[in-house]
Structure 1
């Protein structure tokens, strides 16, 4: 019973008014890694720039390989990989600005509300993560068959997209809010509406067929609607999964990121210093004390629910 409560309790706590929006009291969580030990991390900066450059290269390569007179833009796969590119590029810009311009960090710190670019990035990352994982699952379990040629573009847009975004979930420091589940669901509905409009306008795929995907053929509306419902349910399941991955990430960080410190004794008959295990907590938003530990603050503003 205790184990069941430990699983359900974090979910129940998420259904609070303050978790509905995009307010977060430590904006620096969006420009740092969960695992970095300093206020600024050059390694994380390089990582952000690398992943942004990678997705940019994938988008360019996939366009060259299959632009098909603009039909490239009708596929959800390509919507997903372009969203990966935009999201990671925005993330790289924010981290670079934070790293290179301390006055920007000062403004963020002094503001009572998280800046709009941070909120946009948060929402985009949520959508991108779920969309990438959903695309990978649906493609390899439903759409792929022996007639489909496995190419570099195929692997990059249907496998690496989700792998890298899932790895990114383990690296970043910002939270996953369960009530943000509506974002990927709404994005999926937008694509479903687009597919209906494209069908009604007489659009075809590169082979001349009157649909974008065979499982989303509006000549058979019942089947297409079931597909949309199934994808929505998949998005919800994936979101709950990444929520618990996030909780596990924070738990691992709090559990294993500890160090030994010596607490001076003030009692007679006790050794002059006794090792005491304290969490390796560090200040989240201090400008002017870069790279120094401060045990009065946590490395991440998120608290794991036990």
Structure 2
């Protein structure tokens, strides 16, 4: 995998998102199959609309995670919401890129394809890891199970795993810094927020409370 050949997985050209030989929406044998391309386009837009609709509804409907309306702005302090917001942005961009790919069948790596690849790398790992951390460390029997719990800590995770299996989007070892940067930025933010005596949406002196049961 990481031998001396310049075209190996660990080649420096795989560090960024410009390796034209790697990028593709479809596997080579299916790129000219209209039925596959139609299915992929429907797949992308169905989930994009579903996830984005839920995002909008979760912002409009009353929730139990805050004490009053003034605390709703604290939506943006939670790792779950960082992950879900970027996840939805990635899905919208991916659907738009897939639409362009469907109509143009362009195999040259365009700027919007590079952004799509970057967003895919940025959001795939957090979607899975945030869900695992939630159920392992945060959830308890007293935690209210609402639709957003399953969307942001379950359905998006399962979709990501299935999408990785279905798509031909390449996953490169040298792109590890992308999701790692996401984690580092959140850790820095949470430390600063904590030392600034910030409270969560329930006015408690922390963002998350780890379940010790």
Same fold (TM over 0.5): yes
Cα distance change, pair 27–39 in 1 and its aligned pair in 2 (3 A) = farther
Give 1:133 shift: 0.6
Match of 2:140 among 137, 142, 145: 145
| Contact 1:11–1:178 (Cα < 8 Å) also in 2 | no
Give 1:27 shift: 7.5
2:162 aligned partner? 167
1:94 aligns with 2:97: yes
Greater C-alpha radius of gyration: 1
Distance in structure 1 (CA, Å) of the matches to 2:150 and 2:203: 25
Paired residue total: 197
Match of 1:45 among 22, 41, 48: 41
Give 1:35 shift: 7.5
| Contact 2:128–2:157 (Cα < 8 Å) also in 1 | yes
1:133 aligns with 2:128: yes
Calculate the TM-score normalised by the size of structure 1: 0.59
1:4 aligned partner? none
Distance in structure 2 (CA, Å) of the matches to 1:136 and 1:35: 34
| Contact 2:97–2:116 (Cα < 8 Å) also in 1 | no
Q: Could you give the per-residue CA deviations for residues 14-57 of structure 1, whole angstroms, max 9, x where no partner exists?
A: 22222212123257713x36774635411111111111111102
2:80 aligned partner? 77
| Contact 2:75–2:201 (Cα < 8 Å) also in 1 | no
| Contact 1:55–1:85 (Cα < 8 Å) also in 2 | yes
| Contact 1:33–1:173 (Cα < 8 Å) also in 2 | yes
Q: Could you give the per-residue CA deviations for residues 121-168 of structure 1, whole angstroms, max 9, x where no partner exists?
A: 111111211001111110001111111022221111111111001111
The correspondence of residues 90-239 of structure 1 with structure 2, limited to 5 A, is 90-100=93-103, 102=104, 105=106, 109=108, 114-215=109-210
Cα distance change, pair 33–70 in 1 and its aligned pair in 2 (3 A) = farther
Q: CA RMSD in A?
A: 2.2
Cα distance change, pair 35–208 in 1 and its aligned pair in 2 (3 A) = farther
Cα distance change, pair 47–35 in 1 and its aligned pair in 2 (3 A) = farther
Give the 3-state SS of the residue equivalent to 2:176 in structure 1: helix
Give unpaired runs (5+ residues) of structure 1. Answer: 1-9, 216-306
Cα distance change, pair 175–195 in 1 and its aligned pair in 2 (3 A) = same
Give 1:97 shift: 1.9
Cα distance change, pair 78–97 in 1 and its aligned pair in 2 (3 A) = same
Give the 3-state SS of the residue equivalent to 1:130 in structure 2: helix
| Contact 2:22–2:170 (Cα < 8 Å) also in 1 | no
The answer to which structure has the higher strand fraction is: 1
Distance in structure 2 (CA, Å) of the matches to 1:125 and 1:27: 14
Give the 3-state SS of the residue equivalent to 1:29 in structure 2: coil
